[in-house]
Structure 1
């Protein structure tokens, strides 16, 4: 691992920590905890948004399926990069506490502990699926609704940062994952433009 990668990881994961971030960053990473809110937002958009919004939702679904199920999954298996928390003993692991249903985890005390590498791995580090997925979604949304897309890009960037803060990814995992997400989003929107919305702007 490059020295700058380790140094930046240490800064974000350890030196720049704060008790508020110890809850906020894992909360941003816990996509499953936000699933009820996401489902409601999708249903309202489908119901009230019209044809354009429905095509956007279709593109979002395809982008996530392609980005997560195909690209991220294939690259993780091919590259096999170990996560920081599995590779080093000086990484702080941050997560939400247990809760059921999953959204109740948002109301629990965050778990903050030092990594203890023992040879076990908890998934692969490159690319960051969270980052690929959210930047793909942001790109799709921005192609249909620019202001909403700009907000989504900010959220995607915050989630990407949270993955380093929580010890799940190396800093060098993030920029290529962002680029992959944007490319996936553009490809899906391009296909949709040719197929459904020839006048999409």
Structure 2
């Protein structure tokens, strides 16, 4: 079963490489993939949102979702699954970026982007759609660059969406409890 999934994954990666590869696409895909390196985009989004009062809850959800991906994806799932990266399995491929270390499943870049997009979408639909487009492009870049299998990317999408939903629910719960506590304190002062 795992071998057949890997064979299908490799055939998709080879198709992408053989039909879509170009010098311009190489540059675009490198830029997309490096934009989220070390969670850079998520940190930038969080910082910007902290300066906009209407976006602070969203910023906390984005950061919570990103940290959840780090915990569940990078520190737990990758070490349970221990899947080698596609360029390791198919050593005939020369990748055009510095070879990433660590295991392949799930794609942390993809999971981080989809976690961020989900958190944004659950607070701000239009902005969330833009974030999902960005997340999808980053996810594709991971396959284009031959550093993740399609199934790694799919796993990253699922993990990211779950982390985004979970972090958003937690932020909304904390905000609701804080509001209830403030209302209760205000009522006590009036009495």
For the criterion TM > 0.5, the same-fold answer is yes
Task: Pick the structure with more helix per residue.
Answer: 2
Q: Deviations over 1:87-128 (max 9, x none)?
A: 1123241227xxxxxxxxxxxxxxxxxx9xxxxx83110000
Q: Are 1:135 and 1:185, in contact at CA under 8 Å, matched by a contact in 2?
A: yes
Shift of residue 188, structure 1, vs aligned partner: 1.1
Q: Are 1:92 and 1:166, in contact at CA under 8 Å, matched by a contact in 2?
A: no
Segments of 4+ moved more than 6 angstroms:
none
Q: Deviations over 1:33-81 (max 9, x none)?
A: 9949963x5444322x21x411111111111111113333211111100
Shift of residue 32, structure 1, vs aligned partner: 4.1
The answer to whether 1:18 aligns with 2:22 is yes
Compared CA separation, residues 83 and 7, structure 1 to 2 (3 A): same
How far apart are the structure 1 equivalents of 2:174 and 2:46?
Answer: 22
Compared CA separation, residues 4 and 129, structure 1 to 2 (3 A): same
CA RMSD of aligned residues (A): 2.5
Alignment match of 2:112 (pick from 112, 133, 137): 133
Question: Aligned residue for 1:5?
Answer: 9
Compared CA separation, residues 56 and 162, structure 1 to 2 (3 A): same
How far apart are the structure 1 equivalents of 2:27 and 2:65?
Answer: 29
Q: Which has the larger radius of gyration?
A: 2
Question: Aligned residue for 1:67?
Answer: 69
How far apart are the structure 2 equivalents of 1:141 and 1:45?
Answer: 10
Compared CA separation, residues 33 and 175, structure 1 to 2 (3 A): closer
How far apart are the structure 1 equivalents of 2:37 and 2:106?
Answer: 19
How far apart are the structure 2 equivalents of 1:65 and 1:44?
Answer: 17
Shift of residue 153, structure 1, vs aligned partner: 0.4
Q: Are 1:14 and 1:92, in contact at CA under 8 Å, matched by a contact in 2?
A: no
Question: Aligned residue for 1:78?
Answer: 80
Structure 2 residue matching 1:126: 3-state secondary structure = coil
Q: Are 2:83 and 2:104, in contact at CA under 8 Å, matched by a contact in 1?
A: yes
Structure 2 residue matching 1:196: 3-state secondary structure = helix
How far apart are the structure 2 equivalents of 1:166 and 1:131?
Answer: 13
Compared CA separation, residues 93 and 150, structure 1 to 2 (3 A): same
Unaligned 5+ runs, structure 2? 178-191
- How many positions carry a matched residue from both structures? 172
Unaligned 5+ runs, structure 1? 97-114, 116-120
How far apart are the structure 2 equivalents of 1:32 and 1:82?
Answer: 20
Compared CA separation, residues 5 and 133, structure 1 to 2 (3 A): same
